[in-house]
Amino acid sequence: MHKQIEKIKNNEGKPKVLKNIFGKDLIDKFTNLYNELPITVHNKSQNVIKKRWLSNYGKELERIFYDKLKNEIGDFKYDNLKTEDGEDILGLFQESYNPIGLHIDGGFNLDDLIYKQTLIPLTPVGSTVIFKNRFYGQSTNFTTNKEELEKKDLKYGQNKRSAEHLGMYGNKPFDKKMHEKYVNHEKIENLVGLEVELIYEWEVGSMLIFDRTNLHCSSSVIEGKKIGLTTFTKK
């Protein structure tokens, strides 16, 4: 668990959706940046392409983005992983053809005062489910899948696998209608005790800001593929 839980809690708030914060010119710049970046991971089993926003790409765009985000959340630092060469990674682009499962982006250093994360859609169709429930450990994928839970030899920057969320939030069954409409890619048993805080319907030009302690996942609503940029902050 994180060592500064009380300070983390003091900085928490409800998710925020900022509409029309990025004009077409900036969205085009984000898209061009995505196309320029080298592929980091092509996970064929999950059908996900990941590209790291490397610090020597898109420097002007990074300055604009930093100023816009600081205006919304105040002072922050990027919570950056490093490349093999020690270079900062400012964020993560993901091109997804399948929904991403239940997880938390708590980072990998439990001494850090984790803060907010952002999501910027670069494609129009998709949605993200933010749960009211919170978790104060490191970045984790929550699952009941036995094969996933047996994965222990994780590489740098990979989420651990866990089922410790089960029972943590009570035993109330997850809403069946909500499950059918938005999260039918998840076993409903994996969602016991969870309550939805927000369904963020993707809209190009908007940005979602939420606490890194919120459990969340993609919705099952995808048309072909979706591309989004996620960044992580700390105090």
Across 76-100, average pLDDT? 86
Q: Which domain holds residue 163?
A: 5-234
Is residue 218 a contact partner of residue 19, using CB atoms and an 8 Å limit? no
pLDDT band at 45 (very low <50, low <70, confident <90, very high): low
Q: Where are the beta strands (DSSP E) in 55-202?
A: 77-78, 89-96, 103-104, 114-121, 127-134, 140-142, 160-162, 196-201
What's the domain count of the chain?
Answer: 1
Q: What integer pLDDT is reported at residue 85 of this predicted model? A: 76
Percent of the chain scoring above 70 in pLDDT: 97
Q: Comparing 28-42, 73-87, 116-130, which segment has the lowest mean pLDDT? A: 73-87
pLDDT band at 46 (very low <50, low <70, confident <90, very high): low
Is residue 209 a contact partner of residue 72, using CB atoms and an 8 Å limit? yes
Higher pLDDT among residues 47 and 3, named by residue: 3
Closest residue by Cα to residue 229 from 29, 75, 86: 29
Among 33-42, 147-156, 197-206, 216-225, the range with the most confident prediction by mean pLDDT is: 197-206
Residue 62 parent element (H or E): helix 59-73
CATH number for position 25:
2.60.120.590
Residue 83 pLDDT more than 80?
no
Higher pLDDT among residues 183 and 80, named by residue: 183
Q: What integer pLDDT is reported at residue 44 of this predicted model? A: 56
Q: Comparing 20-29, 84-93, 129-138, 200-209, which segment has the lowest mean pLDDT? A: 84-93
Q: What integer pLDDT is reported at residue 3 of this predicted model? A: 96
Q: What integer pLDDT is reported at residue 42 of this predicted model? A: 60
Structure tokens given for 197: 């805080």
pLDDT mean across residues, the chain: 92
Residue 105 pLDDT more than 70?
yes
Closest residue by Cα to residue 81 from 44, 40, 129, 122: 40
